[in-house]
Amino acid sequence: MKLLKLGVLFLLFILPACSSLTLKPADFSWPVESVLKINEDGFVKEDRYSLIFNSKDLFLEETGDSLSYLNKDLRIIRDNKGYYYITSNNFKNVYVFSNYESELCLEEKVLISETGVSKPAFNQRSPFIELVYGDKKQLLSNEGLVNEEENEE
């Protein structure tokens, strides 16, 4: 019985020492969007933030044509939670990705315009991302469009 008590006492002191380290708060946002040219193999690369990925599947999802990436660029920004927002000229959607084990995983596909947007641009409006196209502005979160009423609260 004495040995059991010692074992429990030992575990009570050792287990808290094994807890993971958490550094918070952390802000993962990029201050401005990145406009990235797509190379002939479909890859985009952002040296400043050490980001590289293949965009072919994104263009296939958006346009139905895996070669539609040719001579295009992507507009990318990252919010304070670490989500990536990606769109391009004439896209109908903004794609929200999270990163997980060397992959960008689609979290949300946000419909912006049935006809596609012209000259989109992202701005950091913490805690949201602002999408500007034409004379329109819309706020986005990792869950989709943000209503103006939600923003005022």
pLDDT tens, the chain, 153 aa long: 666 655 555 555 555 555 689 888 888 999 899 999 999 999 999 999 999 999 999 999 999 998 999 999 999 999 999 999 999 999 999 999 999 888 999 999 999 999 999 999 999 999 999 999 999 999 999 999 998 555 544
Q: Which residue has the tokens 């009423």?
A: 149
Q: Please say whether the beta carbons of 81 and 55 come within 8 A.
A: no
- What's the pTM value of the predicted model, to 2 decimals? 0.82
Residues paired with 75 in a beta bridge: 35, 87
- Residue 125 corresponds to which tokens in the numbers above? 């409006």
Alpha helices in the chain (DSSP H): 2-14, 56-63, 148-152
Instruction: Give the torsion sign (CA, 73, 120, 78, 112).
Output: negative
Residues paired with 87 in a beta bridge: 75
